[in-house]
A = this chain, B = another copy of it.
Amino acid sequence: MALIVQKYGGTSVGSPDRIKNVARRIAKFHQRGDQVVVAVSAMSGETNRLIGLARDISSNPTPRELDVVVSTGEQVTIGLLCMALHELGVPAKSYTGGQVRILTDSAHTKARILDINDAPVRKDLDAGSVVVVAGFQGVDEHGNITTLGRGGSDTTGVALAAALNADECQIYTDVDGVYTTDPRVVPKARKLDKVTFEEMLELASQGSKILQIRAVEFAGKYKVKLRVLSSFEEEGEGTLITVEEDSQMEQPVITGIAFSRDEAKITVVGAPDVPGIAYKILGPIAEANIDVDMIVQNVGHAGATDFSFTVALGDLAKAKKALEDNMSQFNAKAIEIDDTMAKISVVGVGMRSHPGVASKVFETLANERINIQMISTSEIKIAVVIEEKYLELAARVLHKAFGLDQA
């Protein structure tokens, strides 16, 4: 008997039939004696429908009221899933975020979980009931409904697992695990049996969409055993995301390759090469609430320097305007933008003991005459920005070069 937290995403609960399937899966665990807590997303499409209604009313909906509207999506799912469990004779009780209660801060549309009251959940579990909790939502100290932001249901699942000290947190999704890279781009991509939190974090932040970054951070911090599984397959162990690196085995140098097409490069040309210039350029960007990813400042000559950085494609127009409005501050010659960029990252904890990884990345890309425009590294990751048209080629050759094609 184990205490298991399961999280089902929007596709897994996308129709009444799929909800019935999820109920059957939960019933199996319940019948073998496990205690099961389930966190669910809104039915696929529902959150977008609700946001669409809000946008029809206002181009800039009030965050508090947007949370009131959007949080109904998960509330519908918890009720429907409990009905489906009751149909199977499985006792089950639903909880909204406010009912649990999942206490968050008051940052509407992107709230953070502060505390979970596990007492009512434990009481129901001890009484033999499955507990179904609305993902993505909570309540602040004043009783206002909050949401955790897109993908927040993963975080709800992990936070519940942490609060309940669960044996495992299972994230059910429409893929059967974490892959060495995106199989749609690299047919030889393989499912990983295990990946460390650090690697998963790099893979997630570098473009892998399977798990929300905050959920992985949370799981790592509270040492929650996390497993990614497909809700559409009966069997399969998925991918286990572990705290500990497996020291008994020879580490593969590279675990996976992540990439993102959602990149734009901005270059401030001919800025004065003086201390504080980076702050003068990036200050307005930060004020406009835009995340900057990679930053490169070239060696200056004749008192001038070129300063480049990348932002998400969706933020490009806003970033450009913020710079243009502040041109007088940093006195540059021109602002150049390039929206045909992509980022590709090789990730692996084995990199720590293998210093040759960076040069192998550069060599592999050079062999294909792919020009590297920017480079960023961490202890377990090397990321490069290249022209988007070379992305698939780069993914395939790197996948092969690091031996990921073979099991």
Residues of A within 8 A of B (CB): 16, 19-20, 50, 53-54, 56-58, 61-62, 64-69, 71-72, 75-76, 78-80, 82-84, 86-87, 93-94, 96, 98-99, 143, 145
Question: CB-nearest residue of chain B relative to A67?
Answer: B79
- Inter-chain contacts of A72 with B (CB < 8 A): 72, 75-76
Interface pair A19/B57, CB less than 8 Å apart? yes
Interface pair B53/A65, CB less than 8 Å apart? no
Interface pair A82/B65, CB less than 8 Å apart? yes
Interface pair B50/A65, CB less than 8 Å apart? no
Interface pair A80/B98, CB less than 8 Å apart? no
Interface pair A83/B98, CB less than 8 Å apart? no
- Inter-chain contacts of A84 with B (CB < 8 A): 57-58
Number of copies: 2
- Inter-chain contacts of A76 with B (CB < 8 A): 50, 53, 69, 72
Q: A65-B94, A72-B72 are in contact. Are A86 and B99 (CB under 8 A)?
A: no
Q: How far is the CA of A93 from the CA of B96 in the complex (A)?
A: 20
- Inter-chain contacts of A98 with B (CB < 8 A): 98
Interface pair A57/B69, CB less than 8 Å apart? no
- Inter-chain contacts of A80 with B (CB < 8 A): 53-54, 57, 65, 69
Interface pair B79/A68, CB less than 8 Å apart? yes
Q: How far is the CA of A82 from the CA of B108 in the complex (A)?
A: 15
Question: CB-nearest residue of chain B relative to A78?
Answer: B68
- Inter-chain contacts of A68 with B (CB < 8 A): 75, 78-79, 82, 94, 96
Please tell me which one of the listed residues B66, B86, B94 contacts residue A58 in the complex, with CB atoms under 8 A apart: B86
The secondary structure that dominates the A interface is helix
- Inter-chain contacts of A99 with B (CB < 8 A): 143
- Inter-chain contacts of A61 with B (CB < 8 A): 83
Q: Max chain B CB contacts within 10 Å: which of A54, A75, A76, A93?
A: A76
- Inter-chain contacts of A50 with B (CB < 8 A): 76
Q: How far is the CA of A272 from the CA of B56 in the complex (A)?
A: 67
Shortest Cβ distance from residue A327 to the other chain B in the assembled complex, whole angstroms: 34
- Inter-chain contacts of A79 with B (CB < 8 A): 54, 65-69
Please tell me which one of the listed residues B58, B66, B83 contacts residue A65 in the complex, with CB atoms under 8 A apart: B83
The 5 closest A-B pairs by CB, nearest first: A16-B56, A69-B79, A68-B79, A72-B72, A65-B79
Question: CB-nearest residue of chain B relative to A20?
Answer: B57
Q: How far is the CA of A143 from the CA of B87 in the complex (A)?
A: 24
Please tell me which one of the listed residues B56, B65, B94 contacts residue A86 in the complex, with CB atoms under 8 A apart: B65
- Inter-chain contacts of A19 with B (CB < 8 A): 57
Q: How far is the CA of A86 from the CA of B63 in the complex (A)?
A: 11
- Inter-chain contacts of A64 with B (CB < 8 A): 93-94
Q: Can you identify 20 A-B contacts, CB atoms within 8 angstroms?
A: A16-B56, A16-B57, A53-B76, A54-B79, A57-B83, A57-B84, A57-B87, A58-B83, A58-B87, A62-B83, A64-B94, A65-B86, A65-B94, A66-B79, A66-B83, A68-B75, A68-B79, A68-B96, A69-B75, A75-B75
- Inter-chain contacts of A53 with B (CB < 8 A): 16, 76, 80
Q: Max chain B CB contacts within 10 Å: which of A65, A69, A79?
A: A79
Q: How far is the CA of A62 from the CA of B83 in the complex (A)?
A: 6
Question: CB-nearest residue of chain B relative to A70?
Answer: B79
Q: How far is the CA of A134 from the CA of B87 in the complex (A)?
A: 30
- Inter-chain contacts of A96 with B (CB < 8 A): 68, 145
Please tell me which one of the listed residues B56, B82, B143 contacts residue A62 in the complex, with CB atoms under 8 A apart: B82
Add 9 more A-B contacts to A20-B57, A68-B79 (CB < 8 A).
Answer: A50-B76, A62-B82, A64-B93, A65-B78, A65-B82, A67-B79, A71-B75, A72-B72, A75-B75
Q: How far is the CA of A99 from the CA of B67 in the complex (A)?
A: 14
Interface pair A54/B66, CB less than 8 Å apart? no
Shortest Cβ distance from residue A24 to the other chain B in the assembled complex, whole angstroms: 12
Q: How far is the CA of A60 from the CA of B54 in the complex (A)?
A: 33
